[in-house]
Amino acid sequence: MSLLNIVILAAGKGKRMNSDKPKVLHPLAGYPLLQHVLDTAIQFAPDKTCVVYGHGGEAVPQAMAKYAASFVLQEQQLGTGHAVQQALPHLDGDLTLVLYGDVPLIQSATLEKMFAQPDALTLLTIHLANPSGYGRIVRDATGNICCIVEEKDATDEQRAIREINTGIIAAPTKLLGEWLARLKNQNAQGEYYLTDIVAMAVEQGITVHTVHPKHEWEVIGINSKVQLAELERIWQHEQARELLVKGVTLADPARIDVRGKLECGRDVQIDVGCIFEGKVYLGDGVRVGAYSIIKNSQIATGTYIEPYSYFDQAKVGENCRIGPYARLRPGSNLHQDVHIGNFVEVKNSEIAAGSKANHLSYVGDSSIGSRVNIGAGTITCNYDGANKHRTIIEDDAFIGSNTQLVAPVKIGRGATIGAGSTITRDAPENTLTLTRAKQITVPGWQRPVKTVKGVK
């Protein structure tokens, strides 16, 4: 491929979004619209990527700072042609591809076809049953493109044309610069239309080539929250369909949200209402219970996640049982056959094979050995108000219910901690350690009675 520039137009205010946030930063499938476009663009390793932004000040370049792109401010929004003009000083490749920050689902396979004729002007067009709102592709009697007419400037006959301009083009950079310099704003909107370059190319005898996307949703643009919600459902349906084709069992394909990349092994089962964010891997035979949320996590073969569980940057080994209502926070690393039960929270902790925390416990900043039993209501007190400290529980230890382990502390191999204890010093292995005050009964004590207002 010739040296490639990619220009992404992202300056639109999006008045119909009714939001102070720039339109291109509104999320689709968990990521800003513009990020989807940039992620597709970088697959082609362009020599220059230029994002033209406008409304929202520096919010757009700040939000996309991780990308190796030039960000160019279009102070006045005078049309798509004017926007590309702002990018021209930053371009030096042979071919320039123009994309849109509010058309997030354009696919790389479609764009690849646009590079087939680098010496031509290539347009991405599509036939729509309802072309309202789009510029029309006007062809002559032999089928060659004559020009593009925006709907506000079109005649009734031209409005009846169903082939529309998506706005996405690829053009030789040198010719693009020449055409942009000749643009005029003598039209219904008083703007400099990028589409006017088509007539200039035809006049010069430059071939105008067209390609078409495989899916209509690839070229849907976003101008309102209604359109955003509709495209979200379309995209989630496509992702659900892809999972089904790969053999994943979905209890209801209409009730799953994939906001990133979900990779599944064989015979994975996913119940209703589950959300997957970032990069998630589910191994063979994993079952995910209803309304669970899994972010940037790896779940190994045979693990069962019961309903309403929450994972964030967790790694879970084979044949574990998690939930219901369990929370695994960043740094949780569970080995095989670990049980984490209802209302148990784990953070920045490693739990070795066969250990269990089945009820109402907090395990934070801890190293847990194998075959450890953590009783209900156990808390690792890892924070002293200024610093975090680590708890170590060695193999085969038994932690009684309602125990507080005040870190830093170590529970030795095979040790037993009596229920209701507060452990502040290391507990030796293979012994019983407990801390309890002597139980007493207070004769004559009466429980306070609630005072009723106005009654003495």
- Catalytic residues, by residue number, are 359
In 15-95, alpha helices (H):
33-41, 59-63, 80-87
Q: Name residue, tokens 């009714």.
A: 18
Q: Which amino acid is at 212?
A: H
Distance, in Å, from the CA atom of 54 to the CA atom of 8, rounded to the nearest integer, reads 12
Q: Which amino acid is at 350?
A: E
Cβ atoms of 83 and 13 within 8 Å: the answer is no
Strands (E), 222-364: 249-250, 256-264, 269-270, 274-282, 287-288, 293-295, 298-299, 304-305, 310-312, 315-316, 321-322, 327-328, 333-334, 339-342, 345-347, 350-351, 356-359, 362-364
Contacts of 7 (CB under 8 A, 6+ apart): 50, 52, 84, 87, 91, 96, 97, 98, 99
Q: Which residues pair with 277 in a beta bridge?
A: 259, 295
Three-state helix/strand/coil letters over 162-230 = CEEEEEEEEEEHHHHHHHHHCCCCCCCCCCCCHHHHHHHHHHHCCCEEEECCCCHHHHCCCCCHHHHHH
Distance, in Å, from the CA atom of 303 to the CA atom of 395, rounded to the nearest integer, reads 22
Three-state helix/strand/coil letters over 112-126 = HHCCCCCCCEEEEEE
**Which two structure tokens, joined as six digits, stand for 117?**
């004729």
Q: Check the CA dihedral 101-107-108-112 and report its sign.
A: negative
Q: Name residue, tokens 């200024």.
A: 386
SS3 of 282, please?
A: strand
Q: What is the CA radius of gyration of the chain?
A: 31
